[in-house]
Structure 1
Amino acid sequence: MRRNYWTYSAGLLVAWALVFLLVGLLRGGHEVQVVLPVFGGFCIGWVSTTIARYVYPPPKQWLS
């Protein structure tokens, strides 16, 4: 299995899709709107860490 950032990102996308699906099915459409700010905050954090990875890459010894 490939251990990289894009694989992890795709897995998180699938996980969030499942969260929205389950909340929508079990709790209804109104509850999905309650989860949206949480997802928005997660996206802001994810973009922030992505920028940090490109600006401050890890030392080469950790990449091996």
Structure 2
Amino acid sequence: MRGYRNYWTYSAGLLVAWALVLLFVGLFRGGHEVAIVLPVFGGFCIGWVSTTIARYVYPPPKQWLS
């Protein structure tokens, strides 16, 4: 199970979760509600890209990785 504990697996899981949220909102609440949720998803994506850049530019110290 430890092999699955990385950033890319977590990112894929979040992508699936957001796809399910958008799908269920679209099915149960209609297209108008999806239009309301999309800016929230966009803001989440901006934050996710920001943390991804920060993770590569400023990696954690070696002592935290062991």
TM-score when normalising by structure 2: 0.91
1:35 Cα offset (Å): 0.4
Q: Secondary structure at the match of 1:10?
A: helix
Residue 20 of structure 1: how far off its partner (Å): 0.3
Question: Per-residue CA shift, 1:18-63, capped at 9, x if unaligned?
Answer: 1001100110011101100000000000000000001100011222
Distance 1:39 1:53 in 2: 21
Match of 2:38 in 1: 36
Q: Secondary structure at the match of 2:26?
A: helix
In structure 2, list runs of 5 or more residues that go unmatched.
none
TM-score, normalised relative to structure 1: 0.93
The 4+ residue runs of structure 1 with deviation greater than 6 A are none
2:11 corresponds to: 9
Q: Distance in 2 between matches of 1:62 and 1:12?
A: 25
Aligned length: 64
- Which ranges of structure 1 fall in alignment gaps of 5 or more residues? none
**RMSD between superposed Cα atoms in Å:** 0.9
